[in-house]
Amino acid sequence: MAKRRPTTEITRCPWAKGGDYIEYHDAEWGVPVHDDRLLFEFLILEGAQAGLSWATILKKRGNYRKAFDGFDSALVAKYGKKKQASLMSDAGIVRNRLKIESASPGEYPCNQRGSFRCCHDKACARLVRSQRPRAFTSLRLPQTNSEPQR
């Protein structure tokens, strides 16, 4: 019997098409984040993505890093109207006034407590606890077409 050669190809989700998506999928998607700067980066990028495709934001990610001082929340917290106006004229990012204004870390209660990670970890723990079934009988199993719906 011939030995099977290990495959080097990664099995990817169907949505991971194209360079930026593939790189994001393989290196970051589904990976827990514990770094405050990276959590802040994702907060900004997710906010910018609202109503747009994630591919659009991934293409602009490098521009966002430059425009938002490497996602240093202490520096971004000091942004005034002048800096916000310069961001509005930056063609490398999504130029939406509300999205730019919402990027201030002072807008996030987590940062007021000193850490995005602390708040994120607490929120995730609450989410896991709230989604945990109380009893095995409370689990809903998928219905097949041949079974009647309850």
User: Which contacts qualify for 120-123: CB closer than 8 Å, 24 or more apart?
Assistant: 120/33, 120/39, 121/34
Q: What gap in Å lies between CA 46 and CA 99, rounded to an integer?
A: 10
Helix or strand run (H / E) with residue 86: helix 81-88
* Annotated active-site residue in 23, 28, 46, 107: 46
Q: What gap in Å lies between CA 25 and CA 52, rounded to an integer?
A: 18
Assess whether 108 carries a catalytic annotation. no
Cβ atoms of 45 and 67 closer than 8 Å: no
Assess whether 79 carries a catalytic annotation. no
Assess whether 46 carries a catalytic annotation. yes
* Annotated active-site residue in 24, 29, 101, 108: 24
What amino acid positions are annotated as catalytic residues?
A: 24, 46, 54
